[in-house]
Amino acid sequence: MKELYRTFNLLIFFKIWISRIIIICLILIFSYHIPQNPIGFSIFTGIFLIILGLIFEDKIIVYNDRFVFSRKYLLNFVNIKKTFHFKDIKSADTENNGLADEIVSFLSNYNYGWRNHVWITFLNNEKKILIVWIDRSELNEVITIIRKRQLIN
C-alpha cells in the first residue's frame, strides 16, 4: 500500500531524544556512584530506568484505505499499534462534539506539550478517542486526508 502521509515533527523528535540522552547520562552517573551509597543510588538508577522505559513517540501513518496509529517506546517492551479502516469510519475530528467527549477532554487535559485528541465515530456509532502527542497542525492534516479518503471510498 502507498503511504499518503506520516506525522513527524522535528521539535518533538529532538525533545524525545534529548530527554533520552539526559536520562541515560544520569543513569551512568548514578551507576558510577553506587559503591558510595548502594541503596540510594540504586533507587535513583532504578527510577531513571523506569522513566527511560516510559518515553514514547506517537505517529500516524495514512494509507489509501486506512490509517495506523502507533506508539513506540525506546525499550520496545510495549509498542501499541492500532489500525482504522476508512470504510468503518463515519467521522473523525480533532474537536470534541458532545458532553461525554468534553468530560474526557477535561479529565485528560493535563497538557505538558503537544497532547491532543482525535475523536473517531464509527458507522455503528461507537466512539473512540485517541490521545496522541502529535502537533495539532499535523493532526488537522491527517483529518483532512481521512475526510478526502472517505469521500473516495
User: Per-residue pLDDT tens for 51-83?
Assistant: 888 888 899 999 988 999 999 887 777 889 999
**Any domain includes 106:** yes
Query: How many structural domains comprise the chain?
Result: 1
Residue 70: the pLDDT is 93
Q: What is the pTM of this model?
A: 0.75
User: Per-residue pLDDT tens for 134-150?
Assistant: 888 888 898 898 888 77
**Any domain includes 128:** yes
**Any domain includes 115:** yes
Q: Order of strands across the sheet with 89-93?
A: 89-93, 115-122, 127-133
- Structural domain boundaries, residue 81: 3-13+54-152
Question: Is the pLDDT confidence value at 12 over 70?
Answer: yes
Distance separating alpha carbons of residues 137 and 141, to the nearest angstrom: 6
Q: Which residues 6+ apart lie within 8 Å of 62 measured at CB?
A: 3, 4, 5, 6, 142, 145, 146, 149
- The CATH number for 139's domain is 2.30.29
**Any domain includes 46:** no
Distance separating alpha carbons of residues 61 and 69, to the nearest angstrom: 7
